[in-house]
Chain A
Amino acid sequence: MTTDLFAALPADDEAAQDRLRARLLAAAERDGLLDVAYRTVDSPVGPLLLAATGAGLVRVAFSVEDHGCVLAELAAAISPRVLAAPARLDTVSRELDEYFTGRRHTFDVAVDLRLAKGFRREVLRRLGEIPYGSTRSYSEVAAAAGSPKAVRAVGTACARNPVPLVVPCHRVVRADGSSGRYRGGEDAKLALLALETAS
Chain B
Amino acid sequence: MVLRVCRAVVGPHDAEDAWSETFLAALKAYPDLPAGANVAAWLVTIAHRKAVDLTRARARHAVPVERTPDEPSRTGRPDDWDGDLWDALAALPDKQRAAVAYHYLGGFPYEEVAAITGGTAAAARRAAADGVKALRAASRRGELEGAAP
Contacts from A to B (Cβ < 8 Å): 2-3, 5-11, 13, 15-17, 19-20, 23-24, 27-28, 31, 33, 79-81
Contacts and interface: CB of A to CB of B under 8 A. Distances in A.
A22 B4 CA distance: 18
A6 B20 contact: no
B80 A20 contact: no
Interface in B6-61: 7-8, 16, 19-20, 23-24, 27-28, 30-31, 33
Given A8-B80, A9-B4, A23 B31 contact: no
Contact of B24 (A9, A33, A80): A33
Contact-residue size bin, chain B (C-beta under 8 Å from the other chain): 20 to 34
Given A2-B104, A31-B28, A9 B20 contact: no
Contact of B30 (A11, A19, A80): A80
Contacts of A2: 104, 132
Nearest to A20: B19
A95 to B, nearest CB: 29
A12 to B, nearest CB: 9
Nearest to A83: B27
Given A2-B132, A19-B16, A27-B20, A9 B31 contact: no
A81 B132 contact: no
Nearest to B135: A5
B27 A10 contact: no
How would you classify the secondary structure of chain B's contact residues: helix, strand, loop or mixed? helix
A33 B104 CA distance: 32
Contacts of A8: 80-82, 85
B67 interface: no
Contacts of B16: 16, 19-20, 23
A9 B139 CA distance: 14
Given A9-B4, A9-B85, A28 B27 contact: yes
B3 interface: yes
A195 to B, nearest CB: 39
A3 B24 CA distance: 30
A33 B85 contact: no
Interface string B86-123: 00000000000000000011000000000000000000
Contacts of A79: 31
B141 interface: no
B76 A15 contact: yes
B116 to A, nearest CB: 19
A28 B33 CA distance: 18
A16 B3 contact: yes
Given A5-B85, A27-B24, A80-B31, A16 B8 contact: no
